[in-house]
């Protein structure tokens, strides 16, 4: 097994999969163990407001998560990290972590990723499908409508062959309510 430990990788599991926002030289499907994708973070900036918080993805403990890893060139590393920290650490609901990932063909690497802090006020925990969809449908933040975020994530996951039945069910309720 080849180990790509000296390379700089970023692991995305939500909007980073389809909107990384930084330059990269390689994009691979990757799996992280010990954490799962979850619509478990109250968004009071990007996809909601203080008055009407939205919901965004968090990497929560338990299980495993199939997502996307981006390899960033050495000369772009500092810029990518600065960008990610401004994007992901606005309210410190996420903790920046360097975690092992599994890449295709048995490759292994370490990747920067953002794990939800369960002690933070913005941690929403587990919600039922209908409740999550209701919250998402009524929320809009500085990055746009919450329903677009969820539906874009589901669409891109399906295109990549990644299944998340709970998140897909939330997407179906959102679509049934008339969201685009």
Q: Which domain holds residue 25?
A: 8-126
Total of domains in the chain: 1
Instruction: Return the axis-axis angle of helices 165-176 and 146-159, rounded to nearest 10°.
Output: 130
Residue 111: partners with Cβ closer than 8 Å, 6 or more residues away: 9, 10, 11, 30, 32, 69, 98, 99, 100, 101
Does residue 37 belong to any structural domain of this protein? yes
Does residue 135 belong to any structural domain of this protein? no
Residue 1 has pLDDT above 60, yes or no: no
Does residue 66 belong to any structural domain of this protein? yes
- Residue 74 has a pLDDT of 96
Residue 21 has pLDDT above 50, yes or no: yes
Does residue 27 belong to any structural domain of this protein? yes
pTM recorded for the entire structure: 0.88
Per residue in 83-102, pLDDT tens?
999 999 989 999 999 999 99
Does residue 145 belong to any structural domain of this protein? no
Does residue 30 belong to any structural domain of this protein? yes
CATH of the domain at 119: 3.10.490.10
Neighbours of 74 (CB within 10 A): 10
Could you tell me if 139 and 171 are in contact, meaning their C-beta atoms sit under 8 angstroms apart?
A: no
* DSSP of 72-131: E-GGGHHHHHHHHHHHH-SSS-EEEEEEEEE-GGG-EEEEEEEEE-TTSTTB-----HHH
Six token digits for residue 143: 């990055």
Does residue 36 belong to any structural domain of this protein? yes
Per residue in 131-176, pLDDT tens?
999 999 999 999 999 999 999 999 999 998 999 999 999 999 999 9
Instruction: Using pLDDT thresholds of 50, 70 and 90, give the confidence band for residue 76.
Output: very high
Could you tell me if 44 and 50 are in contact, meaning their C-beta atoms sit under 8 angstroms apart?
A: yes
Does residue 54 belong to any structural domain of this protein? yes
Residue 163 and residue 159: Cα distance in Å, rounded? Answer: 10
């Amino acid at each position: 097994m080849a180990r790509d430990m000296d390379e700089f990788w970023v692991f995305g599991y939500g909007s980073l999969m389809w909107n990384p926002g930084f330059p990269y030289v390689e994009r691979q499907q990757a799996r992280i163990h010990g954490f799962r994708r979850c619509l478990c973070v109250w968004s009071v900036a990007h996809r909601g407001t203080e008055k009407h918080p939205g919901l965004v993805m968090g990497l929560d403990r338990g299980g495993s998560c199939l997502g996307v890893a981006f390899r960033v060139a050495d000369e772009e590393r500092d810029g990518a990290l600065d960008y990610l920290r401004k994007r992901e650490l606005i309210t410190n609901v996420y903790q920046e972590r360097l975690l092992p990932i599994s890449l295709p063909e048995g490759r292994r690497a370490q990747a920067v990723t953002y794990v939800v802090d369960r002690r933070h006020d913005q941690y929403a925990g587990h919600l039922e499908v209908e409740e999550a969809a209701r919250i998402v449908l009524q929320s809009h933040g500085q990055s746009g409508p919450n329903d677009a975020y969820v539906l874009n994530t589901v669409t891109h996951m399906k295109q990549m062959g990644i299944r998340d039945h709970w998140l897909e069910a939330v997407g179906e309720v959102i679509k049934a309510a008339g969201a685009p």
